[in-house]
A and B are shown apart, each in its own frame.
Chain A
Amino acid sequence: MDRWNNELNGLFAEYKQAIPDPDPGANFMPELWRKIEAKRSFTLRIRRLTQVFVGAAAAICLLFTMIEVIPGSSRPEVHGSYIDALAAAHPVDNITALGIVYRESPEPNTK
């Protein structure tokens, strides 16, 4: 086993000699900077698109908010309390039709 281990160690050492550090090509640095610039412009494009999208979303939100708060819109205005509004919407007749008995308050004893 030791023999194989030693031979393998020798083989690894020879492997390093067989593949020395290669010299970079003349185009190495220009190509690297081209890749860096390409990635930078891609990132910038994505950032701009994101900004446009966020701006558009904000504008839509603002538009909906304005539609909601503009006075004189189609929604009826409500005055007074909820009970008043309910009474106005359901006069006594309607309440009776629903089976709710409307009782007059008793006459005060005049005797």
Chain B
Amino acid sequence: MLVEFEQIQKAQAGDDAAFNQVVVAYRKRILGTIARLIGRPEDVEDVAQEVFLRLYYSLDQLRTPEVFEPWLYRLTVNASYDYLRKQRRRNESRMSDLSEQQVLMADAAAGGKVSTEEQRQKQVKELVDSLLGAVSEQDRILLTLKEVEGLSLKELEKIYRVNENALKVRLFRARQRVLNAFEATQGAVKPGERKD
């Protein structure tokens, strides 16, 4: 926990200063998670503000401060999902461009060494974004929370309020789809050539 339970309880009681402190404590982490969930840096702050806005107006529904973090993640997931759903049209066009993008990425990967670390990171980001375009918004979020954010199945269970087995099945299927897309991307490159 990044804040004391009392701080959350004060915020629940309507103390705006306490709420402000809770936001200040969690905003960087939430911004990072959203940035990796939605993949559009220019909209990250808007989505994060939406998360904290929802937090402000639903804080009284939180029964115990112990579940605050999974609950905040849940709000983050929901706000990110809503954002991605609004952007579906854009995503669909991106998915339709996937094969072209895959070829471009494969070309870039096969093209030789990347000159700087920054360029390499940009390339990785674009590749992962395009791979995650192969799954639905829900699966993209779930997979990112598990594989990128490193949340455990227990934590995901608390966030999604579904049992572990159901999560495992869904994660497995989503990962398989991403893996297939990855293989297709790398199929254009001879094995071993991806590493820059």
Residue from A7, A20, A21, A23 whose CB has the most chain B CB atoms within 10 Å = A21
CB neighbours (8 Å) of B53 from chain A are 32, 35-36, 39
In the complex, A23 Cα to B35 Cα: how many Å? Answer: 11
In the complex, A91 Cα to B148 Cα: how many Å? Answer: 96
Interface residues of B in 33-53 (CB under 8 A from A): 35-36, 41, 44-45, 48-49, 52-53
Are A39 and B182 in contact (CB-based, < 8 A)? no
Are A31 and B49 in contact (CB-based, < 8 A)? yes
Q: Which residue of B lies closest to A9 (CB)?
A: B147
Decide if A102 is an interface residue (CB 8 Å cutoff).
no
In the complex, A12 Cα to B122 Cα: how many Å? Answer: 13
Q: Looking at the assembled complex, report how far the CB atom of B91 sits from the nearest CB atom of chain A, in whole angstroms.
A: 18
Name A16's contact: one of B23, B36, B41, B186 (CB within 8 Å). Answer: B36
Are A7 and B182 in contact (CB-based, < 8 A)? yes
Q: Which residue of B lies closest to A18 (CB)?
A: B121
CB neighbours (8 Å) of A66 from chain B are none
Decide if B127 is an interface residue (CB 8 Å cutoff).
yes
Name A4's contact: one of B27, B45, B128, B183 (CB within 8 Å). Answer: B183
Q: Which residue of A lies closest to B178 (CB)?
A: A8
Decide if B140 is an interface residue (CB 8 Å cutoff).
no
Are A14 and B36 in contact (CB-based, < 8 A)? no
In the complex, A80 Cα to B85 Cα: how many Å? Answer: 73
Decide: A23 near B121, CB < 8 A? Known: A11-B128, A16-B148, A32-B52. Answer: no
Interface residues on A, range: 20 to 34
In the complex, A16 Cα to B56 Cα: how many Å? Answer: 28
Q: Looking at the assembled complex, report how far the CB atom of B48 sits from the nearest CB atom of chain A, in whole angstroms.
A: 8
In the complex, A23 Cα to B31 Cα: how many Å? Answer: 8
CB neighbours (8 Å) of B27 from chain A are 24, 28
Q: Which residue of B lies closest to A34 (CB)?
A: B49
Decide: A11 near B183, CB < 8 A? Known: A16-B148, A28-B27, A29-B20. Answer: no
Decide if B24 is an interface residue (CB 8 Å cutoff).
yes
Are B24 and A29 in contact (CB-based, < 8 A)? yes
Decide if A19 is an interface residue (CB 8 Å cutoff).
yes
Are A28 and B183 in contact (CB-based, < 8 A)? no
In the complex, A96 Cα to B191 Cα: how many Å? Answer: 112
Decide if B179 is an interface residue (CB 8 Å cutoff).
yes
In the complex, A30 Cα to B52 Cα: how many Å? Answer: 13
Decide if B28 is an interface residue (CB 8 Å cutoff).
yes
Q: What are 14 sample pairs from A and B whose C-beta atoms fall under 8 A apart?
A: A7-B194, A8-B175, A8-B178, A9-B147, A14-B121, A15-B148, A17-B121, A18-B122, A19-B36, A20-B32, A24-B48, A25-B45, A28-B48, A32-B52
Enumerate the 9 nearest inter-chain pairs by beta-carbon distance, A residue then B residue, closest first. Answer: A21-B32, A18-B121, A15-B128, A12-B147, A18-B125, A14-B124, A32-B49, A18-B124, A21-B28
Residues of A within 8 A of B (CB): 3-5, 7-9, 11-12, 14-25, 28-29, 31-32, 35-36, 39
